[in-house]
Amino acid sequence: MRTWLLFTSLAAIALMVLFTACGDDNDHMGGMNGMNGMSGMDASAPPGTIVVQLTNWAVEASQSSAQAGSITFRAVHPMSHMRAGNEGGKIHDLAVARKNADGSYDVLGQVKDIRMGRSKDLKLTLSPGEYELQCNVVEEVKGKMISHYIEGMRTAFTVS
């Protein structure tokens, strides 16, 4: 029994080291306590960064518009939105899509696989126009396909 306990403990530590080492440069942790509202959403975000909170089933940006040019979005998936049961939404993404004249959207950039308690940065150069911040994850939960976008995970964003 002790050998089994030692083995599982070592395996868990090895997995934690592996997952920590596999993170990319724009993946962040911390600064996400007190996620009720936009203040304090991610205290570690550099000045000028637009913080975008991704929860079941909403996308909430710290601001709804920005000036044209280089824009950094920090997609934050807080632990505070976790609910009882298995309703999905354990992983989100953030896509920035430009609105076309016909009302359709073209995705210009995206960060994927943002787990609860994590954040990722997305830096884009945007020209004036109408945009949408979206979560395009589609997952299977209890045999049913759930589209985060259809569930309401999108919000308008304007660049002037």
pTM: 0.74
Q: Is the pLDDT of residue 50 over 90?
A: yes
For 54, counting Cβ atoms within 10 Å of its Cβ (0-12 exposed, 13-18 middle, 19+ buried), the class is: buried
User: Which one-letter amino acid corresponds to residue 22?
Assistant: C
pLDDT in tens, 122-144: 999 999 999 999 999 999 988 99
Amino acid at 80: S
- The average confidence (pLDDT) of the chain is 79
Domains of the chain: 27-159 (2.60.40)
